Each structure stands twice: as C-alpha cells, then as structure tokens.
Amino acid sequence: MSTPTVGPKTMELRSIDWIPPRERHGSPVSLFFLWFAANSSITALVTGGLFVLLGNSALWSIPAIIVGNLIGGFITALHSAQGPQLGVPQMIQSRAQFGYYGAILPLVLALIIYIGFYATGLVLGGQALATLLHISVKAGAVIFALFSTVLAIAGYKWIHKFSHAASVLSGVVFVILLVIVLGGPMRHQITADTSFALAPFILGISLSASWQLTFGPYIADYSRYLPETTSQRSTIGWTFAGSFIGATLAMIVGAFAAQIGGQAFSDHQVGFLSGLAGTFFWLVLLAVVVGKLTGNTLSSYGGFMSLATIVTAVARHEVIKPRARSIYVLIISAFAVVIALLASDNFVAVFTDFLMFLLYFMTPWSAINLVDYYLIRHKKYDVEALFQRNGPYGTVNKGAFVAYFAAVLIQIPFMNSSLYVGPIADLFGGAEIAWIIGLVVAGGIYLAIAKKSAAGRDSAADDRSANHQQERNAL
C-alpha cells in the first residue's frame, strides 16, 4: 500500500490502496462537474424516454423524474462523504460490513453494474460515432471503448479534468434541445396529452431512483483523493447537486423526445435527437460522445478496482502494480464490448430489464453500507484492517448476509419486471415499490443485528483506528 502516485500530469499509479495525506488534493466542487457529466448523458435521456414508452404522458413524467432523482440522488450522495474520510475505493469498504471474503458477493454485483452500464454506454456512444464518422454502430462501439480504456488507465486526475469540459458541453446541448422542443410547434404534441396513470407514474419514480442508486458503488471512488478535512456537507452537497440536476435535465429531454418521436426514438435514440437539432446535429453527437465517454470511463475505472479487489482476496495479495492495473482495465473493456455488440439490436428492452434487476440487488447493499458507516461505526473505521484477511472485520459477516438476503427475498412479491411480476405488484397494476422495501428491510435488520455486537467490536477497532490515524498523519 506504499506505491506513490506521481505528479498531477502523469498517469495514476494507485488502485485499491489507501491514499495518504500527502497525495490528497482537489476541491469538492469538482464533484459537481463529474456527476453532472455522468448523469447528463444519452443513457439518462433514454431512461427518461422509457417513462413515456411504459405509459406515462410526457408532462406527468416530469414529477416522477424529479421525485425519483431526489430520493435516489440523496441516498447515493451519502456515499460520497466516505471517500475523503476513509481514502479507499467505495466497494472495498464492503469488507467492513460483509467480511474480507464475504465482500466478494457485493463486489461481483458491482462488477455486473460496471460492465452493464459500460456496455449500454458503448451502444449509444457507438451510434453517435457511427453517424459522425459514417461507420457501422458496432465499429463505433469498439472505437468508443478504446477512448474509455485510455482515459480509465490515465486515472483519477484526468477523469476529473475531462468531466469539466464534458459537463459544460452536455449542459449546453440539453438546454438547446429543450428550447427547440418547447419553443416550436412540437410542444403541442407534449402538452396535448395530460393523462395520468398511477402504476406507470410509480414505475417512473422507481426508474429514476434506480438510475441514481446504481451509482452507489461508484461514488467514493471519485472523492477518495480529497483531503480528509474536506467538509462532509460540501462533499455530499456537490455530489447530489451534480447528480440530481444532470439526470433530471437529461431525463426530461428524453421524455419529451419519446413523446414526439414514438417509434423513431425507440429505434435510434441518437439519430432522432441529432435530427431535432437540424444543422447543429454535430453538436448533439459530440455531446453524446463526450458525455458517454465520462460515464463509460467511470464504469471501466470502478470495474477494474472491483475486479482487482476480488482477485487480491482470492490470490491473497493486496499490491496491484501499474502494468496489472492496465490489464484489469483492458479486461473490463473487452467484456463490455462483447456485451454491447450482442445487445445492440434490442437495446431499450435490455436496458429496462437491466435497470430493474440492479435495483433489486443493489439497494440492500447501499442500505447496509450507509447504516454501518453513519449509525453503527459513526464514520470510524480501521482502514488497515480492510486489507487484512484475519483482521477485526472477519472473513464473513453472517449478520450482513441475513439482512441482505432477507431484503432481496422480501422484494419478490413487489417486483415488476419483464422476467417476473410479483403478486402485490400485479394487484396494484404494476406499481413498483420493491426498492423502497429493500432499503428499509436491509437497513433495519442490519442495524438491529449490528447493535448487539457493536460495543465490544468497535471499542477495539476504534483504538486501532486512532493508532493508525496518528501514523497516517505523520506521513
């Protein structure tokens, strides 16, 4: 864990290891640009379009988008404060809740998230590059993956730098699209339908909340280099602001585009949007490329750290050398490219199923992680112990698994997906509230179990944490 990160103009060398104080830098304001860029993307726009395709009117999609992003965005932003405080990637923190080997389960699920979002981003980014360069969508996806891979290998500093430009471009383009749609005759197609249906409305809230909640495994990866003295309120606030504003803007544009375009939007989202911009079609395509490059890079970057954490646990070593780091990124990119090439022809349906699947399995992890951090350990962790197989956090924490699987199972009657519709969801016309049940049950059970054993365990861990903190501050 002692390999240094070299200067600010060079490639990042660290991976899953702890970031010492001498290498901490930056301001929480940068989190706004990063998460605005990641959320104001074509994939978020497609999610907004799904609201209309599933039965909402465009106008009633707006409050569903706002409510879902408010709830999901706030919960997800709470993870951001863990980065400066602990100085390690988001998912390695799961070892404190699930145990050194037990954390492999949420790590595998997170890896599925990373690769899945990476692949869906490649499809849409490939569409944009195909239109710009007059090549096939599949060739565009491969080229797009190369860009994402290079930026992920370059690492943390370059990802943040790139997101500043991406956020400005994406914001400008989505505002222009809103003006075009609402300032011309197309607005009548939007305002003509004011119908309301409860089940699609609730499902729309769930979709936007799921968009935010599935970023949970990403969040602390991009705040972990901030100084430990960084304000928790600022870290959470700037993360939430970027995520909420970016996703809400993109999803509203997507809902309007789906209302106007119908099947044309469903068949080729990027092509339809660029057509709306007329002579400025190239600007829309450029925004799609730049915006998705941010999101895909986050997935590639987080994916390699999850994969590295899994491999190091199994192989019983914790050092990831720069060359191995690059190989992990290449492996993640290769998997994503294969999936993207297979999924291109049925993207919207696949993406809908993917979002809902992630929601069922990742909200319990998020609840457990946040309850442990804020309510059980009160932000005090022995960071060194996260890298110890036989450390105080154990190999497998049965209590965390009880809470996790109980939350997953209790969601089944409330599920509404193309694969399965639970009896309660069916009774309420397809309304989707399983994710809320999962959050409450996972957090509640974990809190009850953890409190019983917290006193003795934490008193010892706090002593070790204080000793290690003194050692780190001396570095």
pLDDT for the residue 121: 86
Closest CA to 150 of 307, 306, 301: 301
Per-residue pLDDT band for 7 (boundaries 50, 70, 90) equals very low
Per-residue pLDDT band for 6 (boundaries 50, 70, 90) equals very low
Phi and psi dihedrals of 421, rounded to 5?
A: -120, 115
Measure the CA–CA gap between 138 and 143, rounded to whole angstroms.
Answer: 9
**Tokens, residue 15:** 């991976």
Give 272-310 pLDDT, tens digit per residue: 888 887 877 888 888 888 988 999 999 999 999 999 999
Give 383-426 pLDDT, tens digit per residue: 999 999 889 999 999 999 999 999 999 999 998 877 788 899 88
- What is the pLDDT averaged over residues 48-67? 90
pTM over 0.85: yes
Task: Decide if 149 contacts 326 (C-beta within 8 A).
Answer: no
The CATH class, in words, for 21-358 is mainly alpha
Residue 316 pLDDT > 90: no
Give 214-264 pLDDT, tens digit per residue: 899 989 999 999 999 999 999 999 999 999 999 999 999 999 988 888 877
- The alpha helices in 316-433, defined as continuous H runs, are 322-343, 347-370, 398-411, 423-427
**Tokens, residue 409:** 């199972």
Residue 474 pLDDT > 60: no
Q: Which amino acid is at 215?
A: F
pLDDT for the residue 5: 46
- What is the pLDDT averaged over residues 175-189? 83
Coil, strand or helix at 234: helix
Give 425-468 pLDDT, tens digit per residue: 888 877 788 889 999 999 999 999 998 876 555 555 555 555 55
Q: What is the CA radius of gyration of the chain?
A: 22
Give 197-215 pLDDT, tens digit per residue: 888 898 889 889 988 998 9
Q: What is the DSSP letter of 373?
A: I
pLDDT for the residue 454: 61
Task: State the angle between helix axes of 198-213 and 232-261 in degrees (0 to 180), rounded to the nearest 10.
Answer: 140
Angle, vertex CA 174, rays to CA 171 and CA 180, nearest 5: 140
Closest CA to 248 of 308, 207, 194: 207
User: Within 10 A of 195 (CB to CB), how many other CB atoms are there?
Assistant: 11
Give 78-130 pLDDT, tens digit per residue: 999 999 999 999 999 999 999 999 999 999 999 988 998 898 888 888 888 88
Per-residue pLDDT band for 194 (boundaries 50, 70, 90) equals confident
Residue 71 pLDDT > 70: yes
Residue 1 pLDDT > 80: no
